[in-house]
């Protein structure tokens, strides 16, 4: 029985030996430089890691490899979907901006048309002016004077209407 305990290191003598060895190790550790301790620690951990790797079963290693690959794959998928989402967002913004630009251009064109500044409107005005000039040449001086008065009255009325509209709009604001 005692021999068995001695083999397992549980006798008084063995305990004393262990304690003595532990004290010596502690003393050595204190005497060693911090750098040496660190390098030894690194070596030890490297050895331990290598030992653990050897001890692990091939199945476990394969499983870990698979998990690592799965994690990597999942990360790549996430990044891919994030890129896709960002691209869609950019395209959406671009579409919105394009629509806005087109709308503005359309409104500008409509304003011009209302004010009669398009090419078509200009051509119409020029044609009308040519016809008026021809008619004027053909008419008598007396008729021309009457037409002029009529036109002036019409223009004055138009100006006054415009001024009233402006004033009303100003008051409402």
Q: What is the DSSP letter of 32?
A: S
Give the Cα-Cα-Cα angle 140, 145, 146 (nearest 5 degrees). Answer: 100
pLDDT digit string, tens, across residues 3-29: 776 666 678 888 888 899 999 988 887
pLDDT: which is higher, 71 or 36: 71
HSE at residue 69, side-chain half, CA atoms within 13 A, is 6
pLDDT digit string, tens, across residues 103-125: 998 888 888 777 777 788 888 88
Helical H segments across the chain, by residue range: 2-7, 12-31, 34-55, 58-115, 119-138, 141-172
pLDDT for 158: 94
Burial class (CB in 10 A: 0-12, 13-18, 19+), 42: exposed
Q: How far apart are CA 64 and CA 72, in angstroms?
A: 12
Domain positions in the chain: 2-55, 142-173
Cβ neighbours, 10 Å, residue 101: 10
Whether 147 has a pLDDT exceeding 90, the answer reads: no
pLDDT digit string, tens, across residues 26-53: 888 777 766 676 777 777 777 788 777 7
Q: How far apart are CA 109 and CA 101, in angstroms?
A: 12
Whole-model pTM: value is: 0.31
């Amino acid at each position: 029985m005692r021999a068995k305990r001695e083999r397992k290191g549980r006798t008084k003598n063995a305990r004393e030996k262990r304690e003595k060895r532990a004290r010596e190790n502690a003393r050595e550790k204190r005497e060693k430089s911090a750098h040496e301790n660190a390098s030894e620690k690194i070596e030890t951990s490297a050895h331990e890691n290598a030992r653990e790797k050897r001890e692990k079963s091939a199945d476990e290693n394969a499983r870990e490899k698979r998990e690592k690959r799965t994690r990597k794959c999942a990360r790549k998928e996430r990044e891919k979907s994030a890129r896709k989402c960002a691209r869609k967002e950019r395209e959406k913004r671009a579409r919105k901006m394009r629509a806005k630009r087109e709308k503005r251009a359309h409104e500008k064109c409509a304003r011009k048309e209302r004010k009669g500044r398009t090419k078509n409107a200009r051509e119409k005005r020029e044609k009308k002016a040519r016809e008026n000039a021809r008619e004027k040449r053909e008419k008598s001086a007396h008729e021309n004077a009457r037409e002029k008065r009529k036109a002036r009255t019409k223009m004055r009325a138009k100006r006054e209407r415009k001024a009233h509209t402006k004033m009303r709009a100003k008051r409402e604001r």
